[in-house]
Amino acid sequence: MLYKFVCLVFLGTVFFSLIRLHAQSVLPIVQESTNTNTDQIQQLLNDRKKELQNITNQKQRTEVKILTKTLRADIDLDLDLIASSPIKPKSFSSVRAPIKVDSITDNSNKYTNKPIVIITPIPKANTNAEPSIPNSPVATSKKEEAVDPPRTVNKISQKDLQLLLAQKEMQLLKEQEAKKQVEIAALVKTLELRNLRQRNIIYLGAVGLGLSLVVTILLFRNVHIQRKANRELVKQKQETELARNQSEALLLNILPASVAQELKTKGKAEAKYYELASVLFCDFQGFTSIAEKMKPNELLAALDECFMVFDEIISRYHLEKIKTIGDAYMCVGGVPEANRTNPVECVLAGLEIQQFMKQKYQSKKLKGEEYWKLRLGINSGELVAGVVGKKKFAYDVWGDTVNTASRMESSGEVDEVNISGKTYELVKDFFECEYRGKLNVKGKGQVDMYFVRSIKPELSKEGKGLEPNKKFWELLKQKTENC
């Protein structure tokens, strides 16, 4: 568990480092681009503010000019009217009065300080004026000279034109000012949006990094769970396969392979007839008397040792073990796979089994221990083999051949392989046999019997008659093909 946790921490650290390196390589470029655009916008904003300041100053000057011209026009008009009047006030002279321009600062504007212009006319006393006498010729002449309608009209029109031009200029300046303010507001909005976008990029990068780390942890956990499930599945599959193999092996220990397969596929195995099969019976002589002197576990171990060797021998000669009953052992050749070589193979197995028992008896005798000897009988002929019943299946054989083989064993002698006359006719070309004559068999009457001494010398290795040579197998093959 600690190893898995360390691996998880290591993988998370590596992934976080990679994401961090990627962010460090990409974020400066984004920041540089964003900073460049922000600096450009800031510079443009400053330029627009300067332009707005210039426009505002020009607007103030134009306002002063308009006010000045308006006041001058009004004063000139008043003076002209006064001059044309027959009665002149004493407080004003005919000379145009000067104008005083004052200004104060207005802080209500957002981007610049707008001054408020105050224009004040300054009256000037006329000390040289002569007193006016009503209805005098001089007054009348002056009045006529003062009243000049065409000249006054032309003068007013020209001033009105100048005033209109100044007002038009003032209107254009206001429009330019409004336009600059709109541009400044747009630039400020753009700058705020870019700053917000940069913050969002940073936030999204942090969120993406966190999500990536979470996804990595979840993926690692999912892979770990999947691997664990796969391991458990493989383990279960292996256990199931092992149990199935053990069941099949156990079934094959009870039944032949073909019969077991038929049972698995069809649920039952039909009994089959075999034209030629060889049955081998063997039994220990003196088993009861010796077993009385042995402990149960020692007896079972001795029997197990013998039967295991018998199993190995008959397997080499393609014989099928049928059953053991107490100290009796039974096997059959030619079933469940039919063949024509089973009589010879059964006799070879009988000779080898007797050879083993002789050696075992001698070794026990040298140790001063008692041991049993073996009788063995073989008969060949037709029989039926199969499985009967529904519980505790057992493969078995039936027929007169089986009964005769049992009589061959009981009618035989220790350390000998006793065969019937029918088996002798099938194996006489391969083995040295000794005729025993016709012996009385319970339920059978007189039956020919033979002892098999050995393999023919010319068909055995080194002529000892113990093991078949190559010529033996060639002859067996030839006779099988001719049958």
pLDDT, position 273: 94
Sequence-distant (6+) residues with CB within 8 A of 91 are: 123, 125
Q: How far apart are CA 246 and CA 333, in angstroms?
A: 26
Q: Where do we find the tokens 């698995």?
A: 264
Domain ranges of the chain: 2-123+130-221, 268-482
Q: Is 373 helix (H, G, I), strand (E, B) or coil?
A: strand
Q: How far apart are CA 387 and CA 270, in angstroms?
A: 7
pLDDT, position 293: 85
Q: What is the largest CA-CA distance in the chain?
A: 205
State pLDDT tens for residues 421-457.
999 999 999 999 999 999 988 888 899 999 999 999 9
State pLDDT tens for residues 434-444.
999 999 888 88
253 burial class (0-12, 13-18, 19+ CB within 10 angstroms)? exposed
Asked whether the predicted pLDDT for residue 12 surpasses 80, the reply is no
State CA 441 to chain mean position distance: 77
Fold for the domain defined by 268-482: Alpha-Beta Plaits (3.30.70)
374 burial class (0-12, 13-18, 19+ CB within 10 angstroms)? buried
Q: How many helices (H) and strands (E) does the chain have?
A: 10, 10
Q: Kindly report which listed range (40-49, 280-289, 299-308, 397-406) carries the lowest average pLDDT score.
A: 40-49
Q: Kindly report which listed range (82-91, 122-131, 252-261) carries the lowest average pLDDT score.
A: 122-131
Q: How far is CA 113 from CA 52, 54, 60, 265, 478, in A?
A: 12, 12, 10, 107, 132
Q: How far apart are CA 449 and CA 376, in angstroms?
A: 12
- Top-confidence residue, 81 or 312: 312
Q: Are strands 272-285 and 99-106 parallel, antiparallel or unpaired?
A: unpaired
State pLDDT tens for residues 328-364.
999 999 999 999 999 999 999 999 999 999 999 999 8
Q: How far apart are CA 344 and CA 146, in angstroms?
A: 172
Q: How far apart are CA 64 and CA 166, in angstroms?
A: 10
Token code pair at residue 223: 């892979």
Q: What percent of the chain has pLDDT over 90?
A: 33
pLDDT, position 470: 93
Token code pair at residue 298: 């020692």
